[in-house]
Structure 1
């Protein structure tokens, strides 16, 4: 068995898939049996892959998510999130619609917006000249 990282050239979604061999991948690609799970496009190709390397238990200590650097980065992200929540209007899943509305109709609206959007939506907004950025968002789960 071999695992490939696949990329949809239409919506830029990346995903992994297993094949019995590299020949099997080529066979399925040629017969157009490979498609993007997100947008159903047949425009899928192999992406850059690195070999699978096992990590010893000693190396795992270096990847400590409760470490000081992790807490520091998390703190900075929370600070930005508070700023965004205070100064921007949350529009939820209607982000793409609201961004277009602001861009084409309501340019004088005082408050910016934030919400969720798909990669496809973000690509379409970019093509239309509408600026939108992906920001890291962490749920505050302090117990």
Structure 2
């Protein structure tokens, strides 16, 4: 089985092939102040359970994080709004919350993407927001931009 592990300050997931009967604690390193969450779910995972007990026959996606809430400051069109998210919340949901916070009409959202400031790479919508938070922090700044338009 495949387990994808996300951590703050790292780009993308560490992926490992493990036996279905392996305990998650044997697969994922967890520091004393960290918790493990299934990506897309705010409930803490019991790392003593086996991979098959947690994920069935599907690949597992977990985020290891010290924070229970992430403060996401989003910049758009010269303004900023702050939204709160759990570390396991997918970037897609953070984008939805940012669009709502700015009151952007749905007709104008098709090409909106989130990026780290001063970058041109769109964040992956399926990644957990906890993975893009700088290591040791419970906050991140993002830009909400139109991917197909000049951002001058």
Q: Same fold per TM (> 0.5)?
A: no
If each structure's helix is expressed as a fraction of its own residues, which one has the higher value? 1
Larger radius of gyration: 1
> TM (normalized to structure 1)?
0.24
> TM (normalized to structure 2)?
0.23
The structure with higher relative contact order (CA 8 Å, sep 6+) is 2
If each structure's strand is expressed as a fraction of its own residues, which one has the higher value? 2
